[in-house]
Chains A and B, each alone.
Chain A
Amino acid sequence: GAVVSQHPSRVICKSGTSVKIECRSLDFQATTMFWYRQFPKQSLMLMATSNEGSKATYEQGVEKDKFLINHASLTLSTLTVTSAHPEDSSFYICSALGGLAGVSYEQYFGPGTRLTVT
């Protein structure tokens, strides 16, 4: 149980275009999902917290107009990189918060999406 998928696993896009990445919790409902970014040989950096039915909360320094997050259902959050530039090339990882309220919350990670902007 507690499987999170991401689609696509790899994407190449041209500079100036937009690309959408999907994050799905396959066997549980997740009111909260997170988006992380990982540059090569570096750590994961939290970009934003996505809550179902409400606006995402972005970390300081993350451009909310560039990285659009939509959490329209309890099993799906999407990250859209708008007007992508080569410096947006990175590995994007989502996680979904699962577990019983009041007991513990566990973050279940997706396999990540490698974005290359040419």
Chain B
Amino acid sequence: AQTVTQSQPEMSVQEAETVTLSCTYDTSESDYYLFWYKQPPSRQMILVIRQEAYKQQNATENRFSVNFQKAAKSFSLKISDSQLGDAAMYFCAYRSGGGADGLTFGKGTHLIIQP
């Protein structure tokens, strides 16, 4: 079974600064996807970024980027120029490469943005 570990229950960052959220995972599969989801107080899950395991290039979406280290099974999220609207729970998630499997989530990191 796959596991996803987020070791930072809470992180705090000053507005406009950069913050990195950590995630490690364990799997014996070679084909899989990794995700970062944001869950604001509304509880609606919002996809932040996705990384295909077969791609060496790190995914980037505007201010959000990942550092994907496949050998180390590490998948961190970097948020640049943090904004107040970034405050939320962030979940790292894993999905097998078949496409029709559910997600395995980490425990989440509560991100606080200090104005």
The secondary structure that dominates the A interface is strand
* Residues of chain B from 87 to 113 with CB closer than 8 A to chain A in the complex: 91, 95, 99-108
B44 lies within 8 A of A34 (CB): no
Contacts of A106 in B (CB 8 A): 47
B45 lies within 8 A of A93 (CB): yes
Q: For this complex, into which size category does the number of interface residues on chain A fall?
A: 20 to 34
Q: Which residue of B45, B99, B103, B104 contacts A104 across the interface (Cβ within 8 Å)?
A: B99
Q: For this complex, into which size category does the number of interface residues on chain B fall?
A: 10 to 19
A105 lies within 8 A of B99 (CB): yes
A-B contact count (CB 8 A): 47
Contacts of A91 in B (CB 8 A): 43
B42 on interface, CB distance cutoff 8 Å: yes
* Nearest chain A residue, comparing its CB with the CB of B46: A109
Contacts of B102 in A (CB 8 A): 34, 36, 46, 49, 59
Q: Which residue of A101, A107, A111 contacts B43 across the interface (Cβ within 8 Å)?
A: A111
Question: What are 21 A-B pairs at a CB distance below 8 A?
Answer: A34-B102, A36-B102, A38-B43, A42-B107, A43-B91, A43-B106, A44-B45, A44-B103, A44-B105, A46-B103, A46-B104, A49-B100, A93-B45, A105-B99, A106-B47, A107-B95, A107-B103, A109-B44, A109-B45, A111-B43, A112-B43
Q: A36-B102, A59-B102 are in contact. List 6 more A-B contacts (CB 8 A).
A: A42-B107, A43-B107, A49-B100, A104-B52, A107-B95, A111-B44
B-side interface residues toward A, CB under 8 Å? 42-45, 47, 52, 91, 95, 99-108
A-side interface residues toward B, CB under 8 Å? 32, 34, 36, 38, 42-46, 49, 59, 91, 93, 95, 97, 101, 104-107, 109, 111-112
